A and B are shown apart, each in its own frame.
Chain A
Amino acid sequence: MILVVALGATFGVWHLAREDDRREIKTNFDFRVDETISRLEQRMAAYEQVLRGVRGLFVSLKFAKRDEFHAYVESLHLEENYKGIQGVGFSLIVPKSQKDRHVATIRKDGFPGYTLRPKGERNPYTSIIYLEPFNWRNQRAFGYDMFSEPVRRAAMEQARDQGKTSMSGKVVLVQETDKQVQSGFLMYLPVYKKGSTPVTLEERRTQIIGWVYAPFRMGDLMAGVAGEHTGELDFRVYDGAEVADSMQMYESYTGGRHESGLSYLRTVKRLEINGHPWTLVIDPLPSFAERIGGGKPKVIGIAGIGLSLLLTLVTWLLATGRKRALALATEMNCELTERNQQLDFANRRLSRATRLRDEFLANMSHELRTPLNAILGMTEALQEEVIGPIVDHQRQALHTIEVSGNHLLELINDILDLAKIEAGEIVLDCVPVSMQQLCKSSLLFVKQLAQQKSICLEVSIQADLPYFLLDERRIRQVLINLLNNAVKFSPEGGDVKLTVRLDQTTNNNGASLKSDVLLIEVIDQGIGIAPEDIGKLFQPFVQIDGALNRQYSGTGLGLAMVKQIVELNGGRVEVCSEVGKGSRFAVSLPCDKLAASTTELAVKAQLDTLPKLDESPEKPHLLLLVEDNEANMYTFSSYLKAKGYRLLLARDGNEAVKLAQANLPSLILMDIQLSGVDGLAAIRRIRSDKKLANIPIIALTALAMPEDRERCLAAGADDYLSKPVKLSQLVGKIQKLLLR
């Protein structure tokens, strides 16, 4: 009973699905047909454009010579851009009276064997005098009189009389050999004496000088049109508005009879291309039916029957009771044990894969470093002029390579280190370390960046610290990473504090057990970290600000590495942070790692006096830019600021002199063509002031005359650049003068 009802329902659904499926197949097929036809039409339009271009050549040059024609057609790259076109040619009208002279001219042109073909008396003759590309196939048509053949002649006359592109009916091209003969057709565009198309029919007939034309082989043309699913549709093209075997120009399917079971889909389309009718007949092939068709109802039918049977089975199972259930439970138990074994195996494989990954990372980083070393080395050699002399802008380019190369190297090094730590390959290399020394050398690395941002680095180190047993290189890496982050995320003019002291920490075991730790803190007043982000901080490749708004560069590896190294040393990293107020990173290293016999080492310890790092850092150079063109002013100041200089701006000579006196800049960039007091006068006034006499001046001028240079230098400029100024070159000159 259940079976009968279920099967009935299945039949109903199957029937609906089949209707649905047929609709879908039809839509799909129609879409493919439309797509193919529109592609064909687009192609034909593109070919017509080619002919128009060639006609344009004739109009603009009065008459194109052979080499001009050749160069133009070659530049079109027919084979790449216009697949299917056999060539582009020009057929010239030769009146009977001029035949001999014409043949002689062409023969003299380097074609001694040239004749008009086929032989015989006609008036007028036409001759294919140009046909590019001039390959062996196309050379077969050289000198051929297309007017002598009725199909071609009809199209040529139509083009001439209507002044429009025309297409011939089905022909066999002269280019065809005996093998693999394809049907073909030709496209013509008339060329008249005065260029434009004459108004009356009479004028058109008298003023025509020839045709630009293109031959097509149908098979080659259609090969690309069918698109990605070639072979799923049978595509036939007939010349004219009727379907007749004798007029068939092309059939895409060459495998003989086919039966897809979808014959109801056959579509007949009539196209008109350049005034010429074509009829297309499209049938689906069995492969189309396989890809698209018929699956759903079948699936539904089978699944429905299957489900019905299952339903019956379940009912039966319920009826036969718990004996089966028990058996099933035992079976499941066995399966569980088996699964557990599988899981265990998978786990082992996973850990092996992790290890392999780390090994791979490490190896890869090594492999990456090798070529990079060559790049950096060669760059350095070039910069040192070991290989040969270089000029300023080359130096700039080399500098860019060097900086970018170094950045890449840093990234690779970070990846390598992290991979090594994770692969458990790092062995600590502990030596007695003076914290004073360690801090000093770490600070060196961030000093430059801090100066650029006018950030004050404050250091306080507990005075009586002993030597500690530490892996110096890696702890320095930790310090550099933390300091670098602190400086990076601090606003201009902020403070960064590094403190090192001994501290006591409560052991996990209870409040009574206290142990000594070395506490290193890095405190900044930067952007801070939101509480929900703190957890993510130490994960590799994670940066808190999103990918797009990346205000701060970096790999996102730094903190991951800090954590790994500190933990490897048995220590801990802690963070307290508040958004907008700043962050405090605290590294505590356990005391049992510290140097045991502090007294012994203390004797050797020389109390290093740190350089006064906490005094305000050296300020970047101040430049005075004198420029009255706003676009240039913004470009220069933007660029130079980005390069780390400070800038003063003046718009005329007077202002420039005043600002120079008031601020004593390190260097002056002076535009010469200023309104009011001009640049040269301003330079003279600056030079006449004793305080300013030694400030280097670079003159900028748009007048690139040789005497300009002399005038600028005579007025007191140290160097000279003509506009448009290459900014990289400008920076080169600035650096050179500032170093002097």
Chain B
Amino acid sequence: MAQSSILVVDDEPFNFDVVELYLRGLDYNLHYAASGKMALDYLDSYQPDIILLDVMMPEMDGIEVCKRIKSMSKWQTVPVIVVTALSTKDDLARCLEAGADDFISKPVNRIELRARINSMLRIKRQFDSMDNLVQLQYSTIDQLENALDEHQNQL
């Protein structure tokens, strides 16, 4: 299986350092974007399998970034884990309403980070394989339809 790619979006590069440190020795491809705009503009280049998104960022906050990611059909299935220092139920609810798939609270705990990333990747893989299956079914249907057309023409 190909290396999974994780995009970390955080205006503070120290936080990326922490993620890098925590995930050391694991076979992930880590990418970094220092702002929400940067992340959104270059999603096609980053090709993330999973996105770790900071909430408190200048210009565009994480909630907005999350909403925008989830409104792009190409990226809406990529799991977004929101990293937040906010912990009231309201804040968490807002993250979820914006489409976040999971959240981790700051300060990030290494075991939790690894586990959550694992679980989100698992979901992503399941989704991907389902998607493949659907595509396969579609192409089978196409083939069958073509065959049917041919037979009808021959008749």
* Residues of A near any B CB (own CB < 8 A): 393, 396-397, 400, 403-404, 547-552, 630-635, 638-639, 641-643, 724, 726-728
Q: Are A642 and B61 in contact (CB under 8 A)?
A: no
Which residue from B5, B33, B55 sits with its C-beta under 8 Å from A638? B33
Residues on A with C-beta less than 8 A from B63 are 548
For residue B45, CB closer than 8 A to chain A, the reply is yes
With A634-B33, A635-B31, A727-B20 already in contact, the answer to whether A642 and B46 are too (CB < 8 A) is no
Closest Cβ of chain A to B15, distance in Å, is 9
CA of A631 to CA of B18, assembled, Å = 20
Which label, helix, strand, loop or mixed, suits the secondary structure of the A interface? Answer: helix
Q: Are B5 and A631 in contact (CB under 8 A)?
A: yes
* Residues of B near any A CB (own CB < 8 A): 5, 11-14, 16-18, 20-21, 24, 29-35, 38, 42, 45-47, 55-56, 58-59, 61, 63, 86
Which residue from B16, B21, B46, B59 sits with its C-beta under 8 Å from A639? B16
Which residue from B12, B18, B32, B55 sits with its C-beta under 8 Å from A635? B32
Q: Are B32 and A548 in contact (CB under 8 A)?
A: no
Q: Are A400 and B46 in contact (CB under 8 A)?
A: no
CA of A552 to CA of B33, assembled, Å = 19
CA of A638 to CA of B12, assembled, Å = 11
Q: Are A639 and B42 in contact (CB under 8 A)?
A: no
Q: Are B58 and A550 in contact (CB under 8 A)?
A: yes
CA of A419 to CA of B63, assembled, Å = 35
A-B contact pairs, 30 of them (CB 8 A): A396-B17, A397-B21, A400-B14, A400-B17, A400-B18, A548-B56, A548-B86, A550-B56, A551-B59, A552-B58, A630-B42, A631-B42, A632-B31, A633-B45, A634-B31, A634-B45, A634-B46, A635-B30, A635-B33, A635-B46, A638-B33, A639-B13, A639-B16, A642-B34, A643-B13, A726-B24, A727-B16, A727-B17, A728-B20, A728-B21
Which residue from A396, A397, A549, A631 sits with its C-beta under 8 Å from B31? A631
Closest Cβ of chain B to A545, distance in Å, is 9
CA of A547 to CA of B85, assembled, Å = 11
With A548-B63, A549-B61, A551-B59 already in contact, the answer to whether A641 and B17 are too (CB < 8 A) is no
CA of A632 to CA of B42, assembled, Å = 11
Residues on B with C-beta less than 8 A from A396 are 17
Residues on A with C-beta less than 8 A from B34 are 638-639, 641-642
Residues on A with C-beta less than 8 A from B58 are 549-552
CA of A396 to CA of B17, assembled, Å = 8
Residues on A with C-beta less than 8 A from B38 are 634, 638
CA of A631 to CA of B38, assembled, Å = 11
CA of A633 to CA of B58, assembled, Å = 22
Q: Are A631 and B61 in contact (CB under 8 A)?
A: no
CA of A386 to CA of B11, assembled, Å = 33
Question: In the complex, how many residue pairs between chain A and chain B have their CB atoms under 8 Å apart?
Answer: 73
CA of A550 to CA of B32, assembled, Å = 20
19 additional A-B pairs beyond A631-B5, A727-B17, beta carbons within 8 Å, are A397-B17, A400-B18, A547-B86, A548-B61, A548-B86, A549-B56, A549-B61, A550-B56, A551-B58, A631-B31, A631-B45, A635-B30, A635-B33, A638-B35, A639-B32, A724-B29, A726-B20, A727-B30, A728-B20
Closest Cβ of chain B to A200, distance in Å, is 32
Among all A-B residue pairs, the 8 with the closest Cβ atoms: A551-B58, A630-B45, A642-B34, A642-B13, A638-B34, A635-B31, A728-B17, A635-B32
CA of A638 to CA of B17, assembled, Å = 13
With A548-B61, A634-B38, A639-B16 already in contact, the answer to whether A727 and B32 are too (CB < 8 A) is yes
Residues on B with C-beta less than 8 A from A550 are 56, 58
Residues on B with C-beta less than 8 A from A643 are 13
CA of A645 to CA of B12, assembled, Å = 14
Residues on A with C-beta less than 8 A from B11 are 642
CA of A547 to CA of B13, assembled, Å = 20
CA of A350 to CA of B124, assembled, Å = 57
CA of A337 to CA of B10, assembled, Å = 61
Residues on B with C-beta less than 8 A from A549 are 56, 58, 61
Closest Cβ of chain B to A689, distance in Å, is 31
Residues on A with C-beta less than 8 A from B42 are 630-631, 634
CA of A724 to CA of B33, assembled, Å = 16
Q: Are A724 and B45 in contact (CB under 8 A)?
A: no
Which residue from A403, A548, A630 sits with its C-beta under 8 Å from B14? A403
Residues on B with C-beta less than 8 A from A634 are 31, 33, 38, 42, 45-46
CA of A642 to CA of B17, assembled, Å = 12
CA of A727 to CA of B14, assembled, Å = 10
Residues on A with C-beta less than 8 A from B61 are 548-549
